[in-house]
Amino acid sequence: MTSTIDMAHPALDGRSTERLAGLLSGWLPEQRWFGGKGRDIESVVVSSCLAAPQIADDNGEDVRLWHVLAEVTYRDGAANGEAPQTYQVFVGARRSLPDRLRHAAIGDPNSAVPELGGHCYDGLHDAFLAAWLLERIADRDSVGPLRFDRLAGQVLRTDLRALVLTGEQSNTSLVYGDQYIAKVFRRPAPGRSPELELGLALAVAESPHIAPPIGWAEFDAAALDGASLGGEAVDEPVTLLTLQPFLPSATDGWALALTSVRDLFAAEPDVSAARAGADFGPEAHRLGMATARVHRALAATLPTGWLAPEDLEHLAGGMRRQLEMTARQVPQLRPYAPGLAEAIDRLAALGGPLPVQRVHGDYHLGQAMRTVTGWILLDFEGEPTRSLAERRAPASPLKDIAGMLRSFDYAAHHLLGTMSTLADQPPAATELMTARAGEWAARNRDAFCRGYAEVLGYDPRAESAVLRAFEIDKAVYEVGYEAANRPSWLPIPLNACARLSTRH
């Protein structure tokens, strides 16, 4: 494969840019990672369109690549002054579209756009264009405002064929052979991603519990010439993608936990969670230890601070607002709202100071991979619905603890809703299964916290008012999410809210 960086390629004129925007307006809503599902698009505006390389594939055909940033405005949002959403697309173009790329076509696969180079498609699905990205990272290259880099001392293989993973929701992941995985941020935020920022900090700290960002690509903010990105000012490089080691033999914590729960449900009624097949307790304990070590490394390498009384009130205020909004949207939550609000008030009444630092921010069993050497924590991007400023702000480590504790509760109870035979069982059998799920969750929550305490010297449950408030905030968020997306799962967070509303 040969490639040339062709910065002399003529820029698109206004008519061509509008035609590209029209193609994207029909294609974007069909993508799994599109964040505006069900909303009417008011407009799509191409804010940046960089002509990158021209690549000759194995058959000698020229392949064009365009790096595109598109601003999407929605009809219901435009009236309320909502900022547009920014999406990143690597648009490939060929004079003829091979069958293997027709599924990735942008627009009509039989219709060419000559000014773009031919038939347009999602370039990440093209092994030749994906290889070009890897080569740029390996060479620490620059292509106009695109800046590619890698960790010092890293030597990357560039002869690996790429494959797009299908399970990603908010981003797109490319696996190169069995060596690397690249996460392409479909909605780049105006600044350095926490995924890259925290990953680099933990790499400096030589943490054994991460897959370090061995390479990345960023967009030079100066190229936007003062323009905003998603309505926010851009004054630092924008992270476009990260490259990490691929963990082909690892298993995520969610899958391991579900195996353990199934073993418990299949065991005789008098068999405890500690004795039922694949007991997850020891792994939960080790995961707690790994979490504590990562928190300790983040505190040692990045700024820390304290929340003053007014900051605690602001934090609690945000929790109250989410509770009030969700209770309006989900009537089933309303009976528990007073007790939940009272618990949140206890957080504000503590008066501080509360220590804060950089944390994972969206921590659950699916973000932890069990390898032959131990637990690896992934996806330090934070909650995808939060702004970049919110995701980069220091927070209490108890936020991560609460996220994982909620995840244990999910793993324990969600199988109950998928067991078709349960509805046919007498009430006593249903109560037994529910009790066993509660036993599993309690055992693993306890093991996780004990593992955390073993490393840092204190049990996070000792700060019960703060931990409970974070658990409530997470459970209330889950109520809203499940009501909108997976109604059959709604009883899991609702039952948690019932418990949290009365626990003291």
Highest mean pLDDT among 61-70, 113-122, 234-243, 339-348: 339-348
pLDDT digits (tens, 9 = 90+) for 446-466: 999 999 999 999 999 999 999
Distance CA 309, CA 307 (A): 7
Distance CA 260, CA 251 (A): 13
Q: Which residues in 164-187 are b (16+ Cβ under 10 Å) and which e?
A: beeeeeebbbbbbeeebbbbbbbb
9: pLDDT strictly greater than 60: no
pTM of structure: 0.90
Tell me, what's the pLDDT at 8?
34
Give the pLDDT mean for 392-396: 95
Mean pLDDT of the chain: 90
Return the structure tokens found at 470. Answer: 């974070």
pLDDT confidence band for 419 (50 / 70 / 90): low
pLDDT digits (tens, 9 = 90+) for 153-184: 899 999 999 999 987 678 999 999 999 999 99
Tell me, what's the pLDDT at 83?
87
- In the chain, the amino acid numbered 82 is E
CB of 496 within 8 A of CB of 490? no
Q: Report which DSSP code applies to 67.
A: E
415: pLDDT strictly greater than 60: yes
Tell me, what's the pLDDT at 271?
81
6: pLDDT strictly greater than 50: no
Q: Which residues in 284-316 are b (16+ Cβ under 10 Å) and which e?
A: bbbbbbbbbbbbbbbbebbeeeebeeeebbebb
pLDDT confidence band for 433 (50 / 70 / 90): confident
Give the pLDDT mean for 107-136: 92
227: pLDDT strictly greater than 70: no
Give the pLDDT mean for 75-81: 80
262: pLDDT strictly greater than 60: yes
**Which has the minimum average pLDDT: 88-97, 227-236, 255-264?**
227-236
Residue where the block lists tokens 């709604």: 490
Give the pLDDT mean for 79-91: 89
pLDDT confidence band for 5 (50 / 70 / 90): very low
The angle, 0 to 180 degrees and rounded to 10, between the axes of the packed helices 253-266 and 281-301 is 160
pLDDT digits (tens, 9 = 90+) for 266-276: 888 878 888 88
